[in-house]
């Protein structure tokens, strides 16, 4: 069968169909056929976004053809200039960690690809070698879009989509672009249909259910940029009698309750794991953690305040959410990063040290050091060479040695264990990523078990309150996510929390709590008041077995401007500020967060409560831009 001869314009538009089919197959392979109706609408948006990009490429061809006096060799240069100009804003979020010269350099490198494809279109024409090369680029870019840098890199994925569209269009074209006639009138109906299809996908916001699907795959990064132009409600803060829904600055301090254990020689040890999710803690063998569960209180519904280490730990130690802190760019251990500014004082270790409690930090990660700004106020700091992560095998023995030497006086120590951080190669390289990850957690748990045994043998264990939790969870393909720093589904924010108190009977508490509660809890254990601006409440009454009414919400704010809240009735509300996307899940009946109820009338109230809370509580200095990593 003889294939039709296509101009470049026709080929660029025709490429929309096979690329959309490729995306749809990839999505079905990854997500399955659940919610098929919503998936079909999802695929329609993907096709519409590709149609919009195709029309933009056709517009570039038409503009070049409208200037017939320009030599053909100028086409690749113009393509490079256009790609560079478009790439700077498109890649700004991806390259935020780099200085402006580096951003321009990396954008220029990426812009060379469309310039090269443009040169092939202008000079190569229908030559088989050129077609094969551009087809290879198209397939490679399409595969990269679905497999590399999953989520959180919209600029990279936009470049992949454009290159796949452009490469396939050139491969399908039958003549060089320089010889192509301008748009033909007989094709007006086709072009109008493409324009309407593209306009629909860009101008009409998807339902919340479809928006979740678009936001949890990389097939159409155009949605990330189009969402910036969708209308949004001008939300007024809710009037509420709840003091935590009003500004907390100037609020009175919360006094400590009656002593839970003797405070005279109390030792509190706080250990956080990196990337430890609650369902893994509940379903696998961890003898050290199980020992603590057998002697203390297990919180089955504990939540991290963010999906990344720095954001989560900063909230834990400062008592404020990520968006309530002012951040500055600086260099730590040769890395450009963001740290809380000194004006955000009042971390609970500073309050402990000022009150005469001995404080010790076993640093294992550059972020969690005094210089990193996330944890401040410790009197002593064990700080090895932090250009590499320090694992439990080094950190926990140092903590144990310090605890055993602390003969008198109240004391507090903290460390963060990096064993389970990607690429999951600390406990052998055999098996799947998830299997290696679990082995790393179990490797750290053996060190925890050894620490407990050493403290017990040294006669110190009966003075120790030990708190074990995690900074965030970890994803392994759920909802299209891998690792962490993603959207706040349960795999990312539902973490283990066990508090062992000497002489306490083992109990389980299902009420939702947050790591922001740990600062007030530790202050309460030492008999110190909690500052009024802290956003958490002490868990000591729950440890004591009392009924406690919590006014503070279990809230989350990620570095990607995603908001979350878990209500006492196990309803979870999520809102993505950039994508204007609402999600509401009933965790009791839908623990996998598959059925987004945000379009239900009652669920909209939950979203309003969530957004109102973070509108009230946020750093809002004029011109200040919160870092997104």
Query: What is the distance between the alpha carbons of residues 472 and 515, in angstroms, rounded to a whole number?
Result: 10
Computed over every residue of the chain, the mean pLDDT equals 84
Nearest by Cα to 325 from 624, 622, 619: 619
* pLDDT-based confidence at residue 233 (cuts at 50, 70, 90): low
C-alpha span between 289 and 464 (Å, rounded): 15
Question: SS in 3 state form for 100-162?
Answer: HHHHHHHHHHHHHHHHHHHHHHHHHCCCHHHHHHHHHHHHHHHHHHHHCCCCCCHHHHHHHHH
pLDDT of residue 221: 82
Measuring CA to CA, how many Å separate 136 from each of 21, 131, 232, 420?
A: 17, 8, 41, 37
Distance, CA of 612 to CA of 606 (rounded, Å) = 10
Share of the chain above pLDDT 70, in %: 89
Per-residue pLDDT band for 175 (boundaries 50, 70, 90) equals low
Span of 369-373, 424-428, 502-506 with lowest mean pLDDT? 369-373
CA–CA separation, 484 vs 265, rounded Å?
38
**CATH number for the domain whose boundaries are 255-362+388-549:** 3.40.720.10
Q: Name the pLDDT band for 125 (thresholds 50, 70, 90).
A: low
How does residue 342 score in pLDDT terms, banded at 50, 70 and 90?
A: low
182 pLDDT more than 50: no
Which tokens hold the place of 132?
């094969």
Confidence of residue 354 (pLDDT cuts 50, 70, 90): very high
CB 426 within 8 A of CB 393: no
Answer whether residue 485 shows pLDDT above 50. yes
**Residue 572 phi/psi, 5° resolution?**
-115, 125
Q: Which residues contact 450 (CB under 8 A, 6 or more apart)?
A: 288, 396, 397
**Most confident listed range (18-27, 178-187, 540-549):** 540-549
Report the interhelical angle of 188-203 vs 36-65 (nearest 10°): 120
Q: What percent of the chain has pLDDT over 90?
A: 33
For residue 65, give Cα distances in angstroms to 183, 376, 519: 10, 62, 65
In the three-class reduction of DSSP (H, G, I as helix; E, B as strand; rest coil), residue 472 is classed as coil
Whether 527 contacts 256, CB under 8 Å: yes
Cis omega (within 30 of 0) for bond into 423: yes
Identify which of 351, 388, 322 has the alpha carbon closest to the alpha carbon of residue 560. Answer: 322
pLDDT at 439: 93
Residue 414 phi, psi (nearest 5) = -140, 145
* Average pLDDT for 470-474: 92
Res 507 pLDDT > 70: yes
Per-residue pLDDT tens over the stretch 559-616: 878 899 999 999 999 998 877 888 999 999 999 998 889 888 899 889 989 998 988 8
Cα–Cα distance between 341 and 327 in angstroms, integer? Answer: 5
Find the mean pLDDT for residues 400-425. Answer: 89
Dist. CA 273–CA 470, nearest whole Å? 4
Q: Residues 516-519: contacts with CB within 8 Å, 24+ apart?
A: 516/305, 516/315, 516/316, 516/319, 516/321, 516/552, 516/555, 517/552, 518/270, 518/316, 518/467, 518/469, 519/316, 519/317, 519/318, 519/319, 519/347, 519/348
What is the rounded CA–CA span in Å between residue 221 and residue 612? 28
pLDDT band at 126 (very low <50, low <70, confident <90, very high): low
Give yes or no for a contact between 268 and 525, defined as CB atoms under 8 angstroms apart. Answer: yes
Q: Where are the domains of the chain?
A: 8-229, 255-362+388-549
* Predicted confidence band of residue 183 (pLDDT cuts 50, 70, 90): very low
Find out whether 531 and 544 touch, Cβ atoms under 8 Å: no
Output the six-digit token pair for 22: 């490729």
């Amino acid at each position: 069968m003889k294939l039709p001869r296509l101009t470049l314009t026709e080929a660029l538009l025709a490429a929309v169909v096979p690329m959309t089919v490729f995306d749809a197959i990839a999505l079905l392979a990854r997500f399955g056929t659940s919610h098929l109706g919503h998936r079909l609408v999802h695929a329609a948006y993907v096709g519409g976004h590709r149609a919009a990009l195709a029309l933009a490429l056709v517009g570039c061809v038409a503009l070049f053809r409208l200037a017939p006096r320009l030599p053909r060799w100028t086409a690749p240069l113009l393509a490079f200039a256009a790609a560079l100009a478009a790439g700077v804003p498109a890649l700004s979020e991806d390259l935020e960690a780099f200085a402006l010269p580096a951003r321009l350099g990396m954008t220029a490198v990426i812009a060379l690809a469309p310039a090269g494809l443009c040169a092939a279109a202008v000079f190569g024409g229908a030559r088989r070698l050129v077609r094969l090369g551009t087809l290879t680029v198209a397939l490679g870019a399409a595969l990269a879009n679905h497999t590399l840098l999953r989520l959180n890199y919209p600029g990279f994925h936009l470049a992949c989509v454009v290159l796949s569209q452009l490469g396939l269009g050139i491969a399908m074209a039958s003549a060089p672009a320089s010889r192509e006639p301008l748009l033909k009138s007989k094709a007006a109906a086709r072009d109008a249909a493409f324009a309407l299809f593209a306009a629909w996908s860009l101008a009409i916001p998807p339902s919340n259910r479809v928006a979740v699907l678009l936001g949890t795959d990389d097939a159409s990064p155009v949605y990330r940029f189009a969402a910036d132009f969708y209308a949004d409600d001008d939300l007024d803060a809710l009037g509420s009698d709840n003091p935590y829904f009003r500004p907390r600055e100037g609020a009175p301090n919360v006094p400590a309750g009656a002593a839970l254990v003797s405070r005279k020689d109390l030792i509190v040890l706080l250990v956080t794991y990196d990337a430890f999710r609650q369902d893994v803690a509940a379903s696998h063998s961890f003898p050290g953690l199980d020992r603590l569960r057998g002697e203390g209180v297990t919180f089955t519904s504990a939540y991290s305040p963010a999906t990344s280490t720095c954001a989560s730990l900063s909230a834990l130690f400062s008592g404020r959410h990520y968006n309530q802190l002012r951040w500055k760019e600086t260099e730590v251990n040769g890395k450009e990063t963001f740290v809380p500014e000194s004006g955000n004082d009042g971390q609970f270790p500073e309050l402990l040290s000022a009150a005469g409690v001995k404080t010790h930090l076993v640093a294992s990660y550059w972020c969690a050091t005094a210089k990193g700004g996330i944890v401040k106020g410790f009197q002593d700091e064990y700080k090895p060479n932090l250009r590499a992560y320090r694992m439990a095998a080094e950190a926990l023995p140092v903590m144990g040695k310090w605890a055993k030497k602390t003969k008198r006086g109240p004391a507090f120590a903290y460390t963060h264990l990096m064993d389970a951080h990607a690429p999951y190669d600390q406990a052998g390289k055999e098996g799947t990523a998830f299997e290696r990850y679990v082995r790393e957690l179990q490797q750290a748990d053996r060190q925890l078990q050894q620490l407990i045994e050493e403290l017990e043998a040294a006669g110190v264990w009966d003075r120790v309150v030990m708190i074990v939790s995690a900074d965030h969870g970890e994803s392994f393909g759920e909802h299209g996510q891998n690792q962490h720093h993603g959207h706040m589904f349960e795999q990312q924010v539902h973490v283990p929390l066990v508090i062992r108190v000497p002489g306490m009977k083992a109990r389980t508490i299902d009420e939702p709590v947050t790591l922001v509660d740990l600062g007030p809890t530790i202050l309460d254990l030492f008999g110190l008041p909690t500052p009024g601006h802290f956003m958490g409440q002490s868990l000591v009454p729950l440890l004591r077995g009392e009924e406690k009414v919590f006014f503070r919400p279990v809230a989350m704010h990620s570095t990607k401007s995603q908001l979350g809240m878990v209500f006492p009735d196990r309803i979870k509300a999520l809102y993505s500020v950039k994508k204007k996307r609402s999600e509401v899940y009933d965790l009791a009946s839908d623990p996998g967060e598959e059925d987004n109820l945000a379009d239900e009338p009652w669920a909209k109230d939950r979203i309003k409560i969530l957004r109102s809370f973070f509108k009230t509580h946020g750093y809002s200095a004029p011109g200040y831009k919160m870092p997104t990593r």
